[in-house]
Amino acid sequence: MTQQLDDAFLADWAVHSRFGAVPGTNGVDRQAATEADGEQRAWFAELLESNGFTVVRDAIGNQFGLLELVPGAPYVLTGSHMDSQPTAGRFDGAYGVLASAHACVRVAEELRAGRGSGESAGAGAVVNLAVVNWFNEEGSRFKPSMMGSSVFTGKLALADALATTDPAGVTVADALDAIGERGAGDVFGGDSGREVASYAEVHVQQGRSMEEDGVTIGLVNATWAAHKFEFKVTGAQAHSGSTLMVDRRDALLGAARLVVAARELVDEFEPGMLHTACGELNVYPNSPVVVASEVELLLDLRSPSADVIREAHAALQRTIERVQREDRVEIAVTAEHSWDQNPYPEAGVELAREVAEQLGLTHDRVMTVAGHDSTNMKDSVPTIMLFVPSVAGISHSLDEFTKDADLVAGVDHLTGVISRLVRGSLL
């Protein structure tokens, strides 16, 4: 029976991997509210409905599959996101959504058959089941990232999210309407009458420590701290050939100094204590014969230590002051987003450990460097975050890969976790 269930998951996984597939690669391009995103959402809705779920969307486009087991009771919510980075891997996020759907179907069948596991053997459900596909976790088309779960948890205003535009000027509201994925109100909270009892998410690690250590299930016990900036560097447009060097106010030069300074910051701390990156540059007028007058860039700092983040932030501010003075440009912070190193609930980590022990799966505690929707959810409800290994730690890349054996182990483990949650664990 277990092999049949695993085969069924892998078969659905193979079908889902075709949506937004990049020809000649194993990767995908299905950014939030694009045509490819709409196609995968429609397919996923059909899959959920064929297994007895009721599919609904909320006002920011989060897609839910509801399976009512105990009328009027709260819901165990589980899922991740299906949107991707441009030309990215097919595992990031999407694995967690499909794994959650299959895990919930398995648990529902367990309950119908009167089966269970561990301390919950033979017990019935005390709460309901729900699967979620969060909108725009990646933040590649619309910023910020984790948009759907941020609105859901009240950390981002719905109106602000819907008014956000992509680089072409299309709003989130219009993009969701174009694929028919914007709901009319709340699915949970508000006037919906539904509440979330707990949340579980499984994800590929996006790092290589688990693979190197021979760990199949990562028990995520904390997030790294992070501070993300959007900068606008303003100089003066000029001829790139004839303008004297002493007269130039080169915005691209100022931006380049920030990028280099962020990388050099890493070497001021112990190895592994600080990650920095510049993920996006927009240059104006971006002409081969013009000194740039304006550059917008995104830069982020990440560390397991909030103290390191603070020290790196202070050093970056000193660099900004120097670049403004020496290169005669203006540097403004147009947006920023940060969070501290933050633990996941210990009771959830222990529950997940017990399930892994019961299933005979190698496991260990691991911190998450990347942000996930569970980062938002854990501040609102009891939350469990799980990892399965990534081959060579490659992520946000067409070469991203996770082995089938690890994928199915993650589904098996998540099934055990949800089986306990639906019977009242963590309530």
pLDDT in tens, 225-252: 999 999 999 999 999 999 999 999 999 9
First CA to last CA across the chain, in angstroms? 31
pLDDT tens track for 39-69: 999 999 999 999 999 999 999 999 999 999 9
User: What is the reported pLDDT for 28?
Assistant: 98
pLDDT at 118 over 90: no
The model's confidence at residue 119, banded by pLDDT at 50, 70 and 90, is very low
Distances (CA, A) of 59 to 79, 198, 351: 18, 21, 33
Neighbouring CB atoms inside 10 A of 346's CB total 9
> How far apart, in whole angstroms, are the C-alpha atoms of residue 26 and residue 139?
22
pLDDT at 122 over 80: no
pLDDT tens track for 258-281: 999 999 999 999 999 999 999 899
The model's confidence at residue 340, banded by pLDDT at 50, 70 and 90, is confident
With CA atoms as reference, report the closest residue to 124 among 427, 426, 419. 419
Average pLDDT, the chain: 96
Percent of the chain with pLDDT over 90: 94
User: What is the reported pLDDT for 46?
Assistant: 98
Cβ neighbours of residue 25 closer than 8 Å, sequence gap 6 or more? 87, 398
User: What is the reported pLDDT for 12?
Assistant: 98
pLDDT tens track for 190-225: 999 999 999 999 999 999 999 999 999 999 999 999
Q: Where do the domains of the chain lie, and which CATH numbers do they carry?
A: 2-224+342-422 (3.40.630.10), 225-339 (3.30.70.360)
Percent of the chain with pLDDT over 70: 98
Joined tokens for residue 425: 């664990």
User: What is the reported pLDDT for 131?
Assistant: 98
User: What is the reported pLDDT for 333?
Assistant: 97
pLDDT at 8 over 70: yes
User: What is the reported pLDDT for 339?
Assistant: 82
Task: Report which secondary-structure segment, H or E, holds 416.
Answer: helix 404-422
| Strand duo 128-134 + 75-81: pairing | parallel
DSSP secondary structure string, 287-329? -TTEE-SEEEEEEEEEES-HHHHHHHHHHHHHHHHHHHHHH--
Higher pLDDT, 96 or 371: 96
